[in-house]
Amino acid sequence: MANNEIKSSPLRLAAGLILGIVLGGILFFVIILILSFIFEMMGWELSLSYNVAENIWSAIILIISLIVGLGVVYWAILTTAPTAEEENIQI
């Protein structure tokens, strides 16, 4: 039986970590934008802002979005085989 386990290099994991943080941050801004729009349209008094130091709900959404972003990128790293360089065969 062949071993189908994919080995990930530390450089690939570091790049995934950076990409996951960026993806989680963008996801946070999109979620806050959509929820703020919905709350304003409905007239609810629950306020969400980008300032996570003043609003516990924004901090919770930030943490969840970072975890989701890191999880998605880590899953993609584990399930995708690394690219192999083509070898030049000289005849």
Per the structure, how many domains does the chain have?
Answer: 1
Q: Which domain holds residue 35?
A: 21-79
In a domain? residue 87: no
Profile the chain (91 residues) by mean pLDDT over runs of 10 residues.
60 92 94 88 78 83 94 91 70 68
In a domain? residue 30: yes
Distance CA 65, CA 68 (A): 5
Check residue 87 and give its pLDDT: 67
Distance CA 32, CA 87 (A): 48
In a domain? residue 59: yes
Check residue 86 and give its pLDDT: 63
In a domain? residue 86: no
Check residue 23 and give its pLDDT: 95
Check residue 8 and give its pLDDT: 72
In a domain? residue 14: no
In a domain? residue 57: yes
Check residue 10 and give its pLDDT: 85
